[in-house]
Amino acid sequence: MKLINVFALSAAMLLASFSAQAETQTLTIDGTKGKLAAIIQTPQLVQGEKVPMVIIMHGFGGRKTENHLAMIANKLEAQGIASIRFDFYGHGESEGEFWRHTVPLEIEDALKVYEYVRDLRYVSTVSVLGHSQGGVVASMVAGKLGAEIKSAVLMAPAAVLRDDAIRGSTMGAHYDPLNLEGEYIEMFGGRAKLGTEYIRTAFSLPIYETAANFKGALCVIHGTGDRTVPYTYGIRYAEQSPNAELYILPGEDHGFNKDLERATDIAVEFITRQVK
């Protein structure tokens, strides 16, 4: 593990401009249980050219169009790197009901997206990037695919979700994990539902065990002010990886709202170094 002193980095990464006009495409991909809405951004390609691809994954209750994910996609595009953002099952514009989603299902869907982009003629390598629960999914996908993944970036990875399930408290919803009844429980004051299958699968999810199978380049970015997922969960990822760079951002919250530019610059700069 390599601990990076973020204060030694420049205040803002100088991104090289990619002068050719880029292309943005909306599409759907066949997921495990339904269609997944996605956005692909690519730099303008000449005949026969291949570029790296990054699969970007949102968190619990999120969507592909969130500001920080769009910023990352745009910055990757500026570096001549393609990306795909997609809504997990039951999120955003994808099919399905939110309460029916589980982390294992999200892993299966992420693998479907990987299979899709892997076969695109212009893709040279595939990397993964995930925020929060998407970081957990990215880490486990990398662990499952191993050397097929060029690099992985985890931003505030929510590995706490297993401990939350064991404690019986997820995002403010309280329950007895050993005596779950019905298909879902209410959360956020009745504005949403949390599926009991989500809890059952999270209870025994082998997060770190699966992630440890990835031996490639790993970047973990976490803030000390994160009250949703304590930064120690990010540190554990880095400690078990032989090729990890760990960025601990003082005072940053779960969404990196203190300095989102810095957090996204770190992610993009890391990927660029690995794939170029």
Query: Is residue 177 included in any domain, yes or no?
Result: no
Per-residue pLDDT, 184: 97
The DSSP bridge partners found for residue 255 are: none
Q: How confident is the model at residue 21 (pLDDT cuts 50, 70, 90)?
A: low
**Mean pLDDT of the residues in the chain:** 93
Cα gap 139→96, rounded to integer Å? 24
pLDDT tens, residue by residue, 63-119: 999 999 999 999 999 999 999 999 999 999 999 999 999 999 999 999 999 999 999
Query: Is residue 194 included in any domain, yes or no?
Result: no
Residue recorded with tokens 């005596």: 179
Q: Note whether 143 and 212 are within 8 A (CB).
A: yes
Q: Which whole number is the average pLDDT over 252-271?
A: 98
Query: Is residue 238 included in any domain, yes or no?
Result: yes
CATH of the domain at 82: 3.40.50.1820
Whether the predicted pLDDT of 7 surpasses 70: no
pLDDT tens, residue by residue, 134-146: 999 999 999 999 9
Per-residue pLDDT, 189: 85
Q: How confident is the model at residue 22 (pLDDT cuts 50, 70, 90)?
A: confident
Residues constituting the chain: 276
Query: Is residue 131 included in any domain, yes or no?
Result: yes
Total structural domains in the chain? 1
Around Cβ 273, how many Cβ atoms within 10 Å?
12
Nearest alpha-carbon partner for 94 in 62, 126, 46: 62
Query: Is residue 247 included in any domain, yes or no?
Result: yes
Query: Is residue 201 included in any domain, yes or no?
Result: no
Residue 214's SS3 state is: coil
Cα gap 191→32, rounded to integer Å? 26
Query: Is residue 196 included in any domain, yes or no?
Result: no
Better-scored residue on pLDDT, 4 or 52? 52
Cα gap 168→78, rounded to integer Å? 43
Least confident of 9-18, 99-108, 129-138, 232-241: 9-18
Quote the domain boundaries for residue 30: 2-170+206-275
Provide the whole-model pTM: 0.92
Least confident of 27-41, 119-133, 186-200: 186-200
Token pair of 224, please?
């000390």
Whether the predicted pLDDT of 13 surpasses 70: no
Query: Is residue 178 included in any domain, yes or no?
Result: no
Which amino acid is present at 31? G
